Amino acid sequence: MIAIVDYNAGNLTSVQLALREVSLDGVITSDPEIVAQADHLIFPGVGAAGAAMEGLTQRRLDAAVKAFIASGRPYLGICIGCQVLLEKSDEDGGISCLGVLSGEVRRFQRAPGVKIPHMGWNQVRFARKHPVLEGIPDGGEFYFVHGYYPAPVDKAWVLANTEYGGTNFSSLLARDNIVACQFHAEKSGPFGLRLLKNFCAWNGKV
Amino acid sequence: MLTKRLIICLDVRDKKVTKGVKFQGNVDLGDPAEMAAQYYREGVDELVFYDITASAEGRPIDIGMVREVAKKVFIPFSVGGGIRNLDDMRAVLLAGAEKVSVNSLAVRDPDIIRQGARAFGSQCIVLGMDARKSGDPAFPSGYEVVIQGGRKPAHLDAVAWAKKSESLGAGEICLNSIDADGTKEGYELELTRKVSEAVGIPVIASGGAGKPEHLVAVLRQGKADAALVASMVHYGTYTVAGIKAEMEKAGVAVRKAPVAS
């Protein structure tokens, strides 16, 4: 069973419909018990990291998500679902996140001609190979919309990079059974659908 | 590098995509979800839907249409026209739209932008703005905002309104020139540049696209982040791939979309 974490913020329909397009069924849930039973867990999200952490904590999903990750089963974080894995975020004046990965979430620096949010299609440049990237070309474009980006401590976790406004940031992270993308795979056309399909076929081992 | 977006606009009236000149003399072009799916397969970067009669008829947006589009299209799309409150916004977003666009409502009640941004995030809230040239010194940018399809003045300066919407939490501005709309003679470059330089959020240029050079001009001189087209593609004069090829030839970074199955 593929579970899609509902923390009461995101547009989860898009992820479910994207899975359906590649002949997969995703169960939208805010129940920690169902998260515990899932084979694959997808944590999508839009909006603010603070609201996401609050939503997770209120529903006791923070512990459920951490336990799922610790179990070694495949986890995919999308946008906010990527950012919450780090220790803290600059958003909303600074908030504590799940701390699964060491590092923080930083704001893009304002500069003339650099629009924030980083919105639109940008190239994702692979740092190494990974099962979820099967069939996707290096440098292919994915859809981004975010004002903050993940900055992991260990560069070994960086699966791909993207450049925006003079900042080269980690747009895709991977460690053990964790994959986390800053872009919206569910809105990234055929490449995004392929990534979702690859993830759901993956056993979490590299 | 962030690419410049090619966005196709679908005006919807009585469940059909329609196109008119300056909001008058409309003709039906096809089914919204079918057309959206076709443009998605051709590699368009984003879609915009306006329920152009919802507002005038005082009825909510056609959520069934939004659901149908979301089943077939795996790129961002925004929906506007007839948004009356936060509940309408939520319904549109939950049906699968990435963004919701407010125009007349935001003029009447600017706080809806702040409320929407707080509830769903700034990235979901697009300010739709119709503007036209004005010699009135009350509008220092030289452009005034109009509502109801250009029929009614909003008594706002276009640049000042853009900045205010940003401060309230809008994540993007879709800027339509009433003067250029439907002419096919090119976007209003000066208006677009003035608004785009005044704000720190992305600006979509709209109104006046007739050929690929027009897109190149508004993305370069107009400093727009994205360009919206409608009749250029609806009548088959140009294809998505054809427009993107011309943009790329002119040195504009575009998304090289794979063919969707």
pLDDT tens per residue, range B150-190: 889 999 999 999 999 999 999 999 999 999 998 999 999 99
Q: What is the pLDDT of residue B21?
A: 54
Res. B260 pLDDT band, cuts 50 70 90: low
Cβ of B225 under 8 Å from any chain A Cβ?
yes
CA torsion, ordered A149, A150, A156, A158, to nearest 10 deg: -40
Token couple for A45: 């999200």
Of A13, A120, A145, the CB nearest to B3: A120
Q: Does A107 touch chain B (CB under 8 A)?
A: no
Per-residue pLDDT tens digits for A62-120 = 999 999 999 999 999 999 999 999 999 998 889 999 999 999 999 999 888 899 999 99
pLDDT at B28 over 90: no
Least confident of A10-14, B109-113, B211-215: A10-14
B181 interfacial to chain A (CB closer than 8 Å): no
Show residues of chain B in contact with A13, CB under 8 Å. Answer: 70, 94-96
- In whole numbers, what is the pLDDT of chain B averaged over residues? 93
A167 at interface of B, judged by CB pairs closer than 8 A: no
Q: Would you call B26 an interface residue with chain A, using a CB distance cutoff of 8 Å?
A: no
Q: Which residues of chain A have pLDDT under 50?
A: none
The β-bridge partners of B205 are B175, B227
**B139: pLDDT confidence band, cut at 50, 70 and 90?**
very high
- The whole-number pLDDT of residue B22 equals 52
Search chain B and give the residue with CA nearest A140. B256
Contact A99, A105 (CB under 8 A): no
| Average pLDDT score over residue span B138-149 | 94
| Angstroms from A76 CA to nearest CA on chain B | 18
Task: Determine whether the interchain pair A163/B1 forms a contact, defined as Cβ–Cβ distance below 8 Å.
Answer: yes
DSSP 8-state symbol, A110: P
Q: Which pLDDT band holds residue B205 (cuts at 50, 70, 90)?
A: very high
The pLDDT value given to residue B42: 96
CB contact (8 A) between residue B259 and residue A190: yes
The alpha-carbon gap from B47 to the nearest alpha carbon of chain A, in Å, equals 12
Q: Looking at B99-254, which runs of residues are DSSP E strands?
A: 99-102, 125-133, 143-147, 152-157, 172-177, 203-206, 226-229
- Report how far residue B243's alpha carbon sits from residue B254's, in angstroms, rounded to the nearest whole number: 10
For B:112-131, CB contacts with A below 8 A are 120-124
Question: Does B135 reach chain A within 8 Å, measured CB to CB?
Answer: no
A48-57, A173-182, B34-43, B71-80: the lowest-pLDDT one = A48-57
Residue A197 touches partner B, C-beta closer than 8 Å: no
User: A139 — contact with chain B (CB < 8 Å)?
Assistant: no
CB contact under 8 A, B123 and A145: yes
Distance between CA atoms of A21 and B68, rounded to whole angstroms? Answer: 13
Q: pLDDT band for position B196 (50/70/90)?
A: very high
Note if A79 is an active site residue: yes
* Closest residue to A122, CB basis, from B3, B120, B202: B3
Q: Is the ipTM of this complex over 0.85?
A: yes
Chain A positions in Cβ-Cβ contact with residue B76 (cut-off 8 Å)? 143, 145, 184, 187
Chain B hits for A187, CB-CB cut-off 8 Å, are 74-76, 98
> Which residues, in sequence order, are CB contacts of A54 under 8 Å at separation 6+?
none
Distance from CA of B74 to the nearest CA of A (A): 5
Q: Return the amino acid letter for B134.
A: S
Q: What is the pLDDT of residue A8?
A: 75
Active-site residues of B, by number, are 11, 130
Q: Which of A119, A121, A190 is opposite residue B260, by nearest beta carbon?
A: A190
Cα-atom radius of gyration of chain A, to the nearest Å? Answer: 15
Give yes or no for residue B108 having a pLDDT over 90: yes
B203, B192 contact by CB (below 8 A): yes
Give me the pLDDT at residue A184, please: 96
Is the per-residue pLDDT at B25 higher than 70?
Answer: no
